[in-house]
Amino acid sequence: MAILSITSYTPSMRKLTIRLPNALLAKIESEARTRRLSKSHIVRERFIQTANAGTELSGILDLIGGVDDLAADLSTEKKAHLQSSGYGRKHSS
């Protein structure tokens, strides 16, 4: 008996229906034809590769970094920094 890879279908898997843009679906269909695999297999494989690649932050990598004019360590000096920046003061009209 052959040993199935983690991306192969097993009876314990549940069904999920998704809608994809035409361009992405065309890429998946093309890869499935080329590799002679099901589209579901290709999608499962891509999900697993993404999960294993540690790309949880890939969607926000461009936002990670420094901000000018902030205290070096806001975890210990947040109250002093907020007071010095005027946060929490009543605005006068």
> pLDDT (tens digit, 9 = 90+) per residue, 10-53?
677 788 888 889 999 999 999 999 999 999 999 989 888 777 76
- Find the mean pLDDT for residues 55-76: 64
Do 42 and 28 form a contact (C-beta atoms < 8 A)?
yes
Q: Is residue 62 part of a domain?
A: no
Confidence check: pLDDT of 2 > 50? no
Local confidence band at 1 (pLDDT 50, 70, 90 cut-offs): very low
Q: Is residue 42 part of a domain?
A: yes
Q: Is residue 68 part of a domain?
A: no
Cβ neighbours of residue 48 closer than 8 Å, sequence gap 6 or more: 6, 7
Placement of tokens 């992405």 in the chain: 24
Domain count for the chain: 1
Q: What pLDDT sits at residue 3?
A: 47
- Find the mean pLDDT for residues 82-89: 76
Q: What is the distance between the alpha carbons of residues 16 and 39, in angstroms, rounded to a whole number?
A: 13
Local confidence band at 74 (pLDDT 50, 70, 90 cut-offs): low
Domain assignment of residue 42, given as a range: 20-55
Q: What is the distance between the alpha carbons of residues 60 and 40, in angstroms, rounded to a whole number?
A: 28
Q: Is residue 93 part of a domain?
A: no
Question: What is the pTM (predicted TM-score) of this model?
Answer: 0.47
